[in-house]
């Protein structure tokens, strides 16, 4: 109650004493200029005198603030305001005051020019002054010298560029260092392996020493590989191929990969059921890497005879969450905060568990790159739950109508007697099944497949298929690189290779065709164009190449 009474009184006192006005006028760090309604300066405070180099006496009743700005900038502002407000605004005081005169709060970034001709960037706020009848009687312009901020901005940009450059240099350095480290490590690991497998028996002490050398050596190699991987991500050179893929299939793969480790540690693994079909929009290889890393941690940092539970749950229309729950020691809030920092092993260095302290950092970066979220909840003493949320996707599928059409075989297909072989190089089983269905509807066609490019190239050499369908983003060797190898080999040079890829940007397609793909099909596969492409590709196979052998033998 007391405040309600005293406040207006205090304000009144302030205004009456003129203290406020005096302070404003004498403020040295802000230029305060008041004009009449036409823009002629009426008041020019100490700050304005200091900043602009004019005395009040020189400008009051004579000059206009717009005279003190860079005329080019005032003209530009008039033009842009005219455009913005669809009206004609003259380059002069009107350009500064137009918005304020319409009651719009306004401030602008323009260069002030001092009396001596020197310049500085200013940030000016402008307000209309009104009398008791709400008529505009002038304007108040409060300006601050913006040089410091501008300078800091410039320095910041330069510092950022320097940091980015240094980061690139670091990546280059790391990759050349990799070679220098691997060579001596090869000798250490190689000879230690020789000693281990030697036919002349070692003493128990020697055996233990060899085992120690090997263990430390392989650990060092892991470390080098992980650091390089991380450097690749940090330098932005890691490219992901995001497409619809079945999460349940990847989970099965991970389960198979991780179970030997779980047995070794005596940890019970429990994989909860997944609602099928369950598709996510992600990079297959990297999803596996993420899950295997989290599963492996859950096993390593568990208690003896502990358990790991894995669950998948649809969180929302967009996201699906995989949770990995362990029965380990759990993490205190302080440790949780350090969890995703490189080389921070949270005191596990002494535990005897191997680890580089990079795995979780990598995992987080990969999840981020795929538009997902990673998190952890932990109760000290009871265990932790690490979870990742990934983006959901629809199942890659064919519409029923298209399948009907596809069943009709083209007229010329009947003249074929020997089955014609199609090789599909694809690491995503969901896509493979689709193409299997399509090929099955074509009599006289046989599909063989490979999960990676190296195997694909081997199959191409061995089976001499009539057409090769090639995914672009394959684990290890990419489809583009595989194409080059196929083209340079005289045994496979003649086979048309059709790209089938989730990279559907025009420049992807362009560079694919440029690289020598016969056609470029994008996923999801469209049945019509798929079948047409197949027909065209089959006809392209030179007759001479197919028939040379039998004809040659009959003569």
Partner 1 sequence: MISLPQILDAKILIVDDLPANVLLLERMLSNAGHTAVSSTLDPRKVCELHGKNRYDLILLDLMMPGMDGFTVLEGLKAIDPEDYVPVLVITAQPEQKLRALKAGARDFISKPFDLVEVRTRIHNMLEVRLLYRALAEQSLRLDQALRERTAELRESEKRSR
**Which residue pairs, CB below 8 angstroms and at least 24 apart, start in 518-524?**
521/469, 523/243, 523/244, 523/396, 523/431, 524/244, 524/396, 524/397
CB of residue 484 vs partner 1: minimum separation in angstroms?
A: 6
CB closer to partner 1, 182 vs 300: 182
Applying CB under 8 A, the residues found at the interface with partner 1 are: 175, 178-179, 182-183, 185-191, 193-194, 197-199, 217, 221, 477, 481, 484-485, 488
CB closer to partner 1, 198 vs 349: 198
CA distance 34 to 39: 8
b (16+ CB within 10 A) / e for 81-107 = bbeeeeeebebbbbbbbbbbeeeeebe
CB of residue 212 vs partner 1: minimum separation in angstroms?
A: 16
How do beta strands 420-425 and 445-450 pair? parallel
CB closer to partner 1, 269 vs 477: 477
Question: Count of CB atoms within 10 A of residue 239's CB?
Answer: 11
CB of residue 406 vs partner 1: minimum separation in angstroms?
A: 36
CB of residue 237 vs partner 1: minimum separation in angstroms?
A: 11
CB of residue 241 vs partner 1: minimum separation in angstroms?
A: 17
CB closer to partner 1, 157 vs 186: 186
Half-sphere exposure of 255 (CA within 13 A, CB side): 15
In the block, which residue shows the tokens 């099944």?
433
CA distance 477 to 472: 9
Tokens at residue 26, please? 């004498």
Tokens at residue 497, please? 């290779």
Where does 104-146 have alpha helices with state H? none
CB of residue 465 vs partner 1: minimum separation in angstroms?
A: 20
CB closer to partner 1, 80 vs 219: 219
CB of residue 347 vs partner 1: minimum separation in angstroms?
A: 30
User: Is the distance from CB of 55 to CB of 49 less than 8 angstroms?
Assistant: yes
CB of residue 483 vs partner 1: minimum separation in angstroms?
A: 11
- H-helix or E-strand spanning residue 545: helix 543-554
CB closer to partner 1, 430 vs 486: 486
CA distance 426 to 375: 32
CB closer to partner 1, 179 vs 507: 179
CB of residue 453 vs partner 1: minimum separation in angstroms?
A: 10
CB of residue 186 vs partner 1: minimum separation in angstroms?
A: 4
CA distance 519 to 508: 12
CB closer to partner 1, 275 vs 489: 489
User: Is the distance from CB of 158 to CB of 165 less than 8 angstroms?
Assistant: no
Question: Count of CB atoms within 10 A of residue 416's CB?
Answer: 14
CB closer to partner 1, 315 vs 484: 484
Measured CA to CA in angstroms, residue 543 lies from 466, 487, 494, 531 at distances of: 11, 19, 11, 21
Give the three-state DSSP class for 267. coil
Measured CA to CA in angstroms, residue 361 lies from 4, 231, 343, 389 at distances of: 56, 11, 9, 16
CB of residue 318 vs partner 1: minimum separation in angstroms?
A: 37
Handedness of CA 228, 234, 240, 246 (dihedral sign): positive
CB closer to partner 1, 276 vs 491: 491
CB closer to partner 1, 189 vs 374: 189
How do beta strands 319-326 and 383-393 pair? antiparallel
């Amino acid at each position: 109650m007391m405040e309600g009474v005293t406040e207006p009184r205090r304000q009144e006192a302030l205004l009456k004493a003129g203290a406020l006005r005096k302070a404003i006028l004498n403020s040295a760090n802000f230029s305060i200029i008041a004009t009449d309604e036409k823009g002629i300066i009426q008041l020019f405070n100490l700050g304005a005198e200091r900043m602009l180099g004019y005395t009040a006496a020189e400008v009051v009743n004579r000059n206009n603030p717009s005279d003190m700005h860079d005329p080019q900038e005032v003209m530009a502002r008039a033009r842009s305001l005219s455009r913005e407000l669809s009206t004609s605004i003259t380059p002069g005081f009107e350009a500064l005051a137009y918005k304020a005169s319409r009651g719009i709060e306004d401030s602008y970034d323009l260069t002030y020019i001092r009396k001596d001709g020197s310049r500085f960037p200013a940030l000016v706020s402008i307000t209309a002054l009104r009398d008791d009848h709400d008529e505009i009687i002038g304007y108040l312009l409060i300006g601050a010298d913006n040089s410091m901020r501008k300078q800091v901005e410039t320095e910041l940009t330069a510092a950022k560029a320097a940091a980015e450059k240094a980061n690139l240099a670091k990546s280059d350095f790391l990759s050349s260092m990799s070679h220098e480290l691997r060579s001596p490590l090869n000798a250490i690991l190689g000879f230690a392996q020789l000693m281990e497998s030697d036919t002349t028996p070692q003493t128990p002490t020697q055996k233990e020493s060899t085992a120690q050398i090997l263990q430390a050596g392989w650990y060092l190699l892991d470390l080098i590989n992980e650091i390089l991987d991380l450097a690749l991500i940090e330098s932005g050179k890691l490219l992901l191929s995001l497409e619809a893929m079945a999460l349940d299939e990847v989970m099965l793969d991970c389960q198979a990969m991780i179970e030997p480790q779980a047995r070794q540690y005596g940890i019970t693994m429990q994989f909860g059921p997944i609602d099928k079909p369950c598709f996510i929009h992600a990079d297959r290889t990297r999803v596996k890497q993420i899950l295997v890393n989290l599963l492996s941690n859950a096993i390593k940092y568990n208690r003896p005879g502990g358990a790991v539970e894995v669950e998948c749950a649809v969180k929302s229309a967009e996201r699906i969450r995989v949770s990995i729950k362990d029965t380990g020691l759990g993490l205190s809030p302080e440790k949780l905060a350090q969890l995703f920092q490189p080389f921070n092993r949270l005191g596990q260095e002494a535990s005897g568990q191997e680890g580089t302290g990079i795995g979780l950092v990598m995992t987080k970066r990969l999840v981020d790159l795929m538009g997902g979220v990673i998190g952890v909840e932990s109760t000290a003493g009871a265990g932790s739950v690490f979870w990742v949320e990934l983006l959901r996707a629809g199942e890659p599928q064919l519409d029923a109508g298209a399948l009907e059409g596809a069943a009709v075989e083209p007229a010329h297909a009947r003249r074929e007697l020997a089955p014609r072989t199609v090789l599909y190089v694809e690491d995503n089983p969901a896509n493979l099944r689709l193409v299997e269905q399509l090929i099955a509807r074509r009599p006289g066609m046989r599909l063989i497949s490979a999960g990676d490019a190296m195997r694909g190239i081997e199959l191409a050499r061995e089976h001499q298929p009539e057409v090769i369908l090639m995914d672009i983003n394959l684990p290890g060797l990419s489809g583009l690189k595989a194409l080059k190898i196929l083209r340079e080999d005289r045994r496979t040079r003649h086979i048309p290779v059709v790209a089938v890829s989730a990279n559907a940007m025009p420049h992807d397609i362009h560079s694919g065709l440029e690289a020598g793909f016969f056609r470029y099909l994008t996923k999801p596969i469209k049945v019509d164009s798929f079948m047409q492409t197949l027909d065209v590709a089959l006809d392209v196979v030179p007759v001479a190449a197919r028939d040379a052998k039998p004809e040659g033998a009959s003569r």
